[in-house]
Structure 1
Amino acid sequence: MSDSILAIDFGTSNSLVGAYHNGKTVAALPLDPKANDPTLMRTLLYFPNPDLCYYGVEAIDQYIEQDMEGRLFRSFKSHLPNQNYLGTVLDNRILTLESMVGIFLLELKKRAEKALDTSVERAVIGRPARYSMDAVADGFALHRMEKAAQWAGFKEVQFVPEPLAAAFDYRRQIDKEKIVLIGDFGGGTSDFTLIKLRPEGFDKKDVLAIDGCPLAGDALDSLFMSNKLNEHFGAKSRYRLPLSSNVLTMPLGVSQKLNHPAHIVHLKEKDTYEFIREVRKCTITGKDKTAIDRLFILLEDQQIFPFFERIEKTKRDLSQQDQTVFDFNYPGLETTEDFKSSQFVEWAQDTRTRIFEALDRCLESAGLRSDQVDLVCLTGGTAKVPFIQKELQDRFGQQRLQTQSHFHSVLGGLVESAAFWGKGQKVVD
């Protein structure tokens, strides 16, 4: 058994792996030969049947090639703090969330071991500052990650906050001590670390504060569904149960799953699916019934993934222009809607407030004002959303903002954390 340590950035949307190997750091290992960037693997699982699984770009390719049969899972990391979500069922076989995450971590481990030509039993794995604002749920999520890492075959694991890892990566760029705020805006969480950085050396006391919230890119994507698009798929459909005069609307539990890219796939689970079929039988108008028929096409023809990919493109378009057209042309699901950036800003007000409340808590916990921060280092795609950028500019000034490599900054810090561990020093207790 080697002394190598893997550094795993297990992300909501994308994952990367580096290593501390033979006394040296390895920045990023090739994981997905089909990806534009082979070091970057989409966090996707595709099961055409319970006995076979595909990952990354191949998951998408096989999903399309096999006529979108089976189950494609994305953003499953976001379920970790949800104590009510135990997993799913594949053809009467139970697939727990821990084993779902473990299956993906095991594949990362196998591909990394192949690249290093050695087996590895230790790993540094990134974690959000907070999986949940609830302390119990946050602890539950970390416990699940520990179980998943054991499932994947790791004997020892150290979990390092992702914004702290990004801070380590940024340290390479400074030549004197600075107080730095790291803002890591990913798919599932927005995380902040205030740290005293210097070119060499590290002491745990240098970490002044860490905070965050479980809202980021996926939460912003879901706004397009919840505010406009979901009515095309029965979220507002009305129905009347037999022998009742009460007019009901599609239950909130169904529409909430419909709105979120990580949750919508679970509308296909038997009890929920059968309930929606019963609602369809009891709809009041033809329009209500048609909307639910469209939902069945979305689910049965496996159009969830491409539909949400189109939503994500709409979000990116609105980061560069004042308005755009959402246009989805699959037969039976034809949907065209105009969106304005001003609408997006309005819909995102609560999400933006909660993200920056986490930043304010971080500053308060460190006993610092915004003008005492020397540099602000931003990572993650959501950091590029204009209203996020503007809020940061208003607080810190444009001259103090710096944007790091979108995907590799957290990994760089995790690799450095693995090197600390390999030399006998742990970054966190």
Structure 2
Amino acid sequence: MSDSFLAIDFGTSNSLVGAYHNGKTHGALPLDPKAADQTLMRTLLYFPNPDLCYYGAEAIEQYIEQDMEGRLFRSFKSHLPNQSYLGTVIDNRIVTLENMVGIFLLELKKRAEKHLNQEVTKAVIGRPARYSMDPVADGFALHRMEKAAKMAGFQEVQFVPEPLAAAFDYRKQITQEKIVLIGDFGGGTSDFTLIRLRAEGFDSKDVLAIDGCPMAGDALDSVFMSHRLNEYFGAKSRYRLPMSSNVLTMPPAVTQKLNHPAHIVHLKEKDTYEFIREVKKCSLGAKDKEAIERLFVLLEDQQIFPFFEAIEKTKRGLSGAESFDFRFDYPEIEITENFTTAQFIEWAMNTRQKIFEGLDRCLDSAGVAPGQVDLVCLTGGTAKVPFIQAELENRFGKDRLQTQSHFHSVLSGLVESASFWAKGQKVT
């Protein structure tokens, strides 16, 4: 048992598991028989009731099959640094965030163990360069991950920054020493590692800097809601409470949840849900009331997941066209809106700025200028967004960018980290 280690790339959107087992490295294990790529498991939990949970592709399949009853959770990793987010309640049963993450990690562990035919109690788990820009919140997120890993049955865990793991993978392609920037753009975080890569080996001193930003694909998805689509769901609905002359609009605490794919599911929690019901009663006009009714249909008919999938499709569509029609066709939520690339670029300006501030900090802390970087290796879906690509090309030149990376590069490096650990070498 001591010779077996799992390598877990626990992502906001997708997760993968590899292993170092009996002296051999094992790449991505086939964990999800119902997925198109069986090595790629969607980071999803679906509870039709508090005592039953489905995972990955089966979570979506069962969610649809069971008429979208129960609770589907996505992007729950992004809550880790949020100290005010404790978890949720499913039919009077409290499920903490650590429970949610632990349940998912346990399922990954069980499926990997079945494939290896071996119990495994040691794991290398990837972590973002920063869960949060606040060091206290970042430490809190890591503490939560440690608790979740223990709940999943891991007795020993090492956390390796995901961009550093990606760097280990890229090292295999290198024949001479280079200064390489690894950019890992996921669903929840954008992470950067500046590293001196040598074909002959790795020393911890080769890591020149690690930095990042807790914004990526989900933050880009949310701009479509916050700038246009949330109006369909009461974000601008006006209401007047009984015995008051003040005209109010939906408070930010509600609209911020509405805008984000990880947070919107929590509008179903009792206190928030009752507040929205009260707002509907006190709405000033028919249009205001209709918008809130549309929100109830979105929540009660479990249309949150398909709605944000339609937003994701629109984001991808704008990668190849100047404009793209967002379409959502569900009774009482029939929405067609045209979005342009120019609008997307303008709305995403703050997210883009924060991402590249993380990159600049990484370069500055290493004392390396963009011109001194020999190679820029990119991984993650958000790296393909055209204005992210254009900004990188502007800083480093197109010829230094390597963008044909895939989901497995971080995992491959985590597996190598596990082999270092097994041989008694320090990883970070």
TM-score greater than 0.5 by the shorter chain:
yes
1:197 aligns with 2:219: no
Deviation at 1:163, TM superposition (A): 0.2
With normalisation by structure 2, the TM-score equals 1.00
1:165-180 equivalent positions in 2, closer than 5 A = 165-180=165-180
Q: Where does residue 260 of structure 1 map in the other structure? A: 260
Give the secondary structure class of the aligned counterpart of 1:405: coil
Given that 2:379 and 2:407 are in contact with CA atoms closer than 8 Å, whether structure 1 keeps it comes out as yes
Given that 2:17 and 2:411 are in contact with CA atoms closer than 8 Å, whether structure 1 keeps it comes out as yes
Deviation at 1:257, TM superposition (A): 0.2
Where does structure 1 differ by over 4 angstroms across 4 or more consecutive aligned residues?
Answer: none
Deviation at 1:426, TM superposition (A): 2.3
Task: Give the Cα separation in 1 of the matches to 2:201 and 2:358.
Answer: 28
Task: Give the Cα separation in 2 of the matches to 1:110 and 1:116.
Answer: 10
Deviation at 1:243, TM superposition (A): 1.1
Q: Which digits, 9 at most, give the CA deviation of each residue in 1:253-275, with x for residues without a partner?
A: 00000000000000000000000
Q: Where does residue 74 of structure 2 map in the other structure? A: 74
Give the secondary structure class of the aligned counterpart of 1:309: helix
Task: Give the Cα separation in 1 of the matches to 2:116 and 2:14.
Answer: 21
1:341-356 equivalent positions in 2, closer than 5 A = 341-356=341-356
Give RMSD over aligned pairs. Answer: 0.5
Task: Give the Cα separation in 2 of the matches to 1:142 and 1:256.
Answer: 24
Task: Give the Cα separation in 1 of the matches to 2:426 and 2:96.
Answer: 31
1:61-210 equivalent positions in 2, closer than 5 A = 61-210=61-210
Deviation at 1:2, TM superposition (A): 4.5
Given that 1:46 and 1:63 are in contact with CA atoms closer than 8 Å, whether structure 2 keeps it comes out as yes
Give the secondary structure class of the aligned counterpart of 1:329: strand
Task: Give the Cα separation in 2 of the matches to 1:379 and 1:121.
Answer: 29
Q: Where does residue 16 of structure 1 map in the other structure? A: 16
Q: Where does residue 307 of structure 1 map in the other structure? A: 307
Given that 2:377 and 2:405 are in contact with CA atoms closer than 8 Å, whether structure 1 keeps it comes out as no
Given that 1:2 and 1:119 are in contact with CA atoms closer than 8 Å, whether structure 2 keeps it comes out as no
Give the secondary structure class of the aligned counterpart of 1:154: coil
Give the secondary structure class of the aligned counterpart of 2:333: coil
Task: Give the Cα separation in 2 of the matches to 1:165 and 1:40.
Answer: 17
Q: Where does residue 394 of structure 2 map in the other structure? A: 394
Given that 1:314 and 1:325 are in contact with CA atoms closer than 8 Å, whether structure 2 keeps it comes out as yes
Q: Where does residue 427 of structure 2 map in the other structure? A: 427
1:405 aligns with 2:411: no
1:325 aligns with 2:325: yes
Q: Which digits, 9 at most, give the CA deviation of each residue in 1:169-197, with x for residues without a partner?
A: 00000101100000000000000000000
Identical aligned pairs, as a percentage? 81
Count of aligned pairs between the two proteins = 428
Q: Where does residue 225 of structure 2 map in the other structure? A: 225
Give the secondary structure class of the aligned counterpart of 1:412: helix
With normalisation by structure 1, the TM-score equals 0.99
Where structure 1 has 5 or more consecutive residues not aligned to the other structure, the ranges are: none
Task: Give the Cα separation in 2 of the matches to 1:70 and 1:278.
Answer: 23
Task: Specify the code of the residue in structure 2 equivalent to 1:205.
Answer: K
Deviation at 1:405, TM superposition (A): 3.0
Q: Which digits, 9 at most, give the CA deviation of each residue in 1:259-292, with x for residues without a partner?
A: 0000000000000000000000000000000000
